[in-house]
């Protein structure tokens, strides 16, 4: 190649690179500005909301609360929900003493968004936590940023979200989180900064490395933590927390890191189920829940303690979605529908089975009402008080429920009808090809096997319009702020 041609080519490449760099820099600056504006952070709101919570007086009565959240437990993984491979006698007993919900949803088919919804009482889209969180600058975090999954660069629960433990703490509850947090590993998104007096656990899923166990802000069990004995260790911490705080109202969130993969169980639990190691793990969770229930009764606290057991989303590689279509990370029922057991003396009748639609963002307004705390007045709370459902006053809490996959709205359930936009589905042969739209009747077709899109076009159009209207409302005010 002649020298002048080669020189011209090099100059052209340099000029192109320089122009690309300027465009990238400008694009980055523009993107940062859009992100900052789109976040719409207003942390001063928290002070106003918490200032409206009256502290418990010496003569005030308030129930204790134990919230147990499993990680990736499927709808069909408990024997009281139909499992024949896994035996869960303690959780079955909890169901027999209280209510078993069969129409209960996680608000996302993934860990962090579901937990954000549970703790805030809001659809996760409002919190900006719409994808799983990973350690900052980790390969997973970098990948999610590169593909635009973190629309506003959020890496932890925003400081302007008012969470359930913050409100209970302001009321005078002693609050504790054991197990998995998964809502951020840096200030101001740490558990102790968001209402928990005690944190003993990990910031992320048990598959994330390095995996260390923290006590509040300090590492207590360095990475790699021994996960085989973790359920036993967390159970001991739960019993200690209950015992130490028996004389005052307490709120314990026991967010077990299992049965999320990798699977770990103690030597005592291994080989005991017909469901393999996965079943052993679930049965050890059942043992752990049994120990907590036993401690409550031994301390004469059961009569004044609300106990809720649920899962953050459907099962992943193993586990049963209970015959429903889909699993974790899919917008079909198997990714969203999860077990929920509620024992609330004086509120739930023994053995009640409730099929009406409810969701994990309903837990916040329910527990606030139980504790005598007003709901945050300055933001949309999507959840509703579950007490009318638990007592049989109503047969469902919601007529409508929206299905998000990351930050994209994919579907809506209205009554028994479910409409889904065209999207990547669970088609194994062509996983990257979009399918749909679909229209399912969940009453006659709970496995979402037969689309009624052609035979019921009017219903599909109505539900499609509901999706468009919801999208427009969220775009107009994504944070759901209602007052200055």
In tens, the pLDDT along 120-148 reads: 999 999 999 999 999 988 898 889 988 88
Which pLDDT score, from 0 to 100, does residue 147 have?
Answer: 86
User: Could you write out the DSSP letters of every residue in 266-285?
Assistant: -TTTTT-STTHHHHHHHHHH
In tens, the pLDDT along 414-454 reads: 999 999 999 888 877 776 788 999 999 999 999 999 999 99
205 and 273 share one domain: yes
CA distances for 378 relative to 28, 60, 188, angstroms? 33, 27, 21
Strands 198-202 and 174-180: parallel
Which pLDDT score, from 0 to 100, does residue 12 have?
Answer: 43
Which pLDDT score, from 0 to 100, does residue 366 have?
Answer: 98
In a domain, 33, yes or no: no
In this structure, what CATH number is given to the domain that contains residue 468? 3.30.1120.10
In a domain, 165, yes or no: yes
338 and 429 share one domain: no
Task: Give the residue from 375, 398, 421 where a domain finishes.
Answer: 398
What stretches in the chain show pLDDT beneath 70?
1-37, 431, 484
Which pLDDT score, from 0 to 100, does residue 36 have?
Answer: 59
- In this prediction the pTM is 0.92
- Among candidate residues 58, 111, 194, 189, the one with its CA nearest the CA of residue 406: 111
Say if residues 124 and 114 touch (Cβ distance below 8 Å): yes
394 and 417 share one domain: no
Residues that are catalytic: 111, 182
Which pLDDT score, from 0 to 100, does residue 8 have?
Answer: 41
138 and 218 share one domain: yes
Alpha helices (runs of H) in 351-448, residue ranges in sequence order:
363-371, 387-391
Please tell me the total count of domains within the chain. Answer: 2
């Amino acid at each position: 190649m002649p020298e002048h041609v080669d020189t011209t080519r090099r100059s052209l490449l340099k000029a192109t690179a320089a122009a690309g760099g300027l465009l990238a820099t400008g694009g980055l600056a523009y993107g940062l500005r859009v992100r900052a504006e789109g976040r719409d952070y207003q942390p001063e709101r928290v002070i106003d909301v918490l200032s409206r919570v009256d502290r418990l007086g010496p003569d005030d009565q308030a129930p204790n609360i134990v919230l147990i959240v499993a990680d990736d437990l499927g709808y069909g993984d408990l024997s009281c929900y139909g499992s024949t491979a896994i035996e869960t006698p303690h959780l079955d007993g909890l169901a027999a003493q209280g209510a078993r919900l069969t129409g209960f949803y996680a608000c996302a088919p993934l860990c962090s968004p579901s937990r954000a919804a549970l703790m805030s009482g809001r659809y996760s889209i409002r919190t900006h936590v719409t994808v799983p969180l990973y350690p900052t600058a980790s390969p997973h975090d970098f990948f999610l940023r590169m593909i635009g999954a973190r629309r506003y660069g959020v890496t932890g629960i925003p400081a302007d979200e008012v969470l359930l433990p913050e409100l209970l703490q302001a009321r005078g509850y002693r609050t504790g989180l054991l197990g998995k947090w998964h809502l951020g590993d840096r200030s101001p998104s740490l558990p102790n900064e968001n209402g928990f007096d005690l944190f003993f656990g990990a910031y992320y899923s048990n598959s994330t490395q390095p995996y260390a166990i923290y006590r509040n802000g300090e590492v207590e069990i360095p990475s790699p933590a021994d996960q085989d004995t973790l359920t036993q260790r967390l159970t001991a911490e739960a019993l200690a927390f209950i015992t130490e705080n028996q004389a005052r109202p307490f709120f314990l969130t026991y967010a077990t890191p299992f049965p999320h993969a990798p699977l770990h169980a103690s030597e005592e639990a291994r080989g005991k189920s017909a469901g393999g190691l996965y079943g052993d793990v679930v049965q050890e969770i059942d043992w752990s829940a049994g120990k907590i229930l036993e401690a409550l009764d031994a301390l004469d606290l059961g009569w004044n303690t609300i106990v809720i057991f649920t899962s953050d989303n459907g099962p992943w590689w193993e586990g049963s979605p209970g015959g429903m279509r889909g699993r974790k990370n899919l917008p079909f029922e198997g990714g969203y529908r999860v077990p929920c057991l509620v024992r609330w003396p004086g509120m739930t009748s023994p053995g009640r089975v409730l099929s009406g639609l409810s969701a994990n963002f309903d837990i916040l307004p329910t527990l606030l009402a139980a504790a005598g705390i007003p709901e945050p007045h300055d933001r949309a709370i999507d959840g509703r008080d579950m007490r009318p459902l638990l007592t049989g006053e109503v047969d469902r809490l919601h007529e409508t429920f929206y299905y998000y996959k990351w930050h994209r709205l994919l579907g809506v359930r209205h009554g028994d009808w479910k409409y889904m936009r065209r999207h990547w589905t669970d088609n194994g042969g062509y996983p990257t090809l979009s399918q749909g739209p679909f229209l399912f009747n969940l009453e006659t077709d709970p496995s979402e096997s037969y689309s009624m899109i052609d035979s019921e076009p009017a219903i599909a159009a109505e539900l499609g319009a509901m999706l468009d209207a919801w999208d427009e409302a969220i775009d107009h005010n994504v944070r759901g702020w209602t007052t200055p």
